[in-house]
Amino acid sequence: MQTAATVAAACAFCAGIFAMRGGEDASAWFAAYVLEESLSIDNLFVFSLIFDYFQTPAMAQPRVLRYGLLVAVVLRLSFIVAGLAVVERFKGVLLILQAFFCTPRTGS
């Protein structure tokens, strides 16, 4: 029931985007939503494998997930803040990143 309500809310939001910004933005948002949903299913599979490997009792799994999500948010925020600090302090880092990520690729 909760999943159906979440999907219905997402579809209503997509309809709002369609009404306000048009079909191109709505289809882009919907494609991103479907991608995120498929990645979350992948995460469920990985969580299941981890719980099986470490033999986590079913009663403890929600608590472990909650702590894991909190740690993931804190670590992600820490890396973002640290990355911003590095870029602000050492502008040359942007040149290194640009050389690494923006080099032209030759394909066959």
Whether pLDDT at 105 is above 70? no
Nearest CA to 44 out of 30, 65, 73, 58 is that of: 65
Nearest CA to 68 out of 86, 46, 53, 84 is that of: 46
Domain boundaries, the chain: 1-55, 57-108
Alpha-carbon span 83 to 27, nearest angstrom: 32
- Predicted confidence (pLDDT) per residue in 5-48, tens digit: 999 999 999 999 999 999 999 999 999 999 998 888 888 888 89
Rounded to two decimals, the pTM is 0.56
Characterize 57-90 residue by residue with b for buried, 16 or more Cβ atoms within 10 angstroms of its Cβ, and e for exposed. Answer: eeeeeeeeeeeeeeeeeeeeeeeeeeeeeeeeee
Amino acid 93: pLDDT: 84
What lies within 8 Å, CB to CB, of 48 at 6+ separation is: none
